[in-house]
Amino acid sequence: MTAETLNFIDGRFVPSSSGRLFENRSPVDHALISRVHEAGRPEVDAAVAAARAALAGPWGRLSVQERAAMLYAVADEINRRFDDFLQAEVADTGKPIALASHLDIPRGAANFKIFADTVKSASAEFFEMTTPDGRTALNYALRRPKGVVAVICPWNLPLLLMTWKVGPALACGNAVVVKPSEETPSTATLLGEVMNAVGVPSGVYNVVHGFGPNSAGEFLTRHPDVNAITFTGETATGTKILEAAAGGIKATSMELGGKNPSIVFADCDLDNALEVTSRAVFANCGQVCLGTERVYVERPLFETFVQRLGEIARAMKPGRPDDAGSGIGPLISLGHRDKVLSYYARAKEEGATIVAGGGIPQMPAGLAEGAWIEPTVWTGLPETSAVVREEIFGPCCHVTPFDSEDEVVALANDTQYGLAASVHTRDLQRAHRVAARLDVGLCWVNAWFLRDLRTPFGGAKMSGIGREGGLHSLEFYTELRNVCVKL
């Protein structure tokens, strides 16, 4: 019998009242994983009502220390059920077990502890003033939860990015309604079992499944009793969510798309620059918001760099998640592969030099129906090409030579996006100088995806609104209330 994935509302697993279900299929071989119950307006209404009731119930009366202890228990229970979460995450995404077991699940659990600790140690403002009549007044700020938070999650790092939002939201005393991607519904649902197991009050954590327009996503973002919306995903979807949020003046946090540049100067550590760049381009089959799709290499190093990056791409072998020799997994779906392949075709039509890849790999029987694609490296396209300007979200990059610092900074900044960048050089002064000139939210020097979770995370321009991480997350998930006491 095919498994069914239910909504999780008010501490219970709930079927779709309309009877509408959709299929969740493996990107590895297109096998059916489960049939997912789509949430209609009744389920979304029930989830939001449960969240609001939880705020007025026991959850709303817990102290910071009590909430933190409960979030530690959530993290411990995720780790106790590590294999269950790993199996669910890998089934949905097709990513190699080696990646999911070292990144997705550990970070998914750790996010609860990190934000529990952050909230316990957070301070607020305090000011002493003299009043007009010569007396004294004290002003101090209190952090209070926003209320009901809608959490709209992407499919590329489902558990990690969902708990990156749910962790601080709950630590601050909010209740959440999560709408995971329709491509990856499993771990968000499994987390409901964890919440029940450790005694998180009913209604604090809810999950509704479905799509965007005329489905769970739209019903949730337009709901009048939702106080805040946090979203990670593509810019076009973020724009629609902002339009929906405007009607109720809802607080929003948007981590959106990117077309991230990597700048490689000729004086870099070449081996390190190649290792870092290849991870930035090909990790998770290129489905990372912080990934690199534009590489700029100083001309003396250009030919060598391109040759060696192409060799790395050609050496990456696709395979099942549990195959130790697998260097790359599939894209999330056949539909997404069609999108990525359309850019592969356009690059060829526009006369790109295909250094590596450019198509679909030959896969053995049993895998041929999966969403496999070749890691790809191009050169030779103009900066005006859609392949260079638009986010592809696949394992590919275009490499361009440059001759001066001013030229490459202008090239890197010539984009509507501004999420992340990386700079490779041994010149410390140049590293600081260039990093300060790039219009991005995050810039790495001689590294990529190296994160201290206390630091601000977010993008500039069309890459988002707001910052997450450490105290920056608390700014979004709480309201500051000033109290003035005249003495």
Q: Kindly tell me the burial class for residue 299, based on how many C-beta atoms sit within 10 Å of its own C-beta (0-12, 13-18, 19 or more).
A: exposed
Which of 375, 339, 372, 340 lies closest to 357 in space, CA to CA?
375
Q: Quick check: is 89 catalytic? A: no
Choose, from 172, 289, 396, 397, the residue flagged as catalytic: 289
446: left (phi over 0), alpha (psi -120 to 50) or beta: left
Spatial distance between the Cα atoms of 366 and 142, rounded to a whole number of angstroms: 58
Choose, from 77, 182, 255, 374, the residue flagged as catalytic: 255
Indicate the pairing of strand 32-37 with strand 3-5.
parallel
Give the Cβ contact number of residue 376 at 10 Å. Answer: 27
Indicate the pairing of strand 260-264 with strand 420-424.
parallel
Residue linked to tokens 């209604």: 203
Q: Quick check: is 407 catalytic? A: no
Spatial distance between the Cα atoms of 303 and 379, rounded to a whole number of angstroms: 10
Residues with a known catalytic role:
255, 289
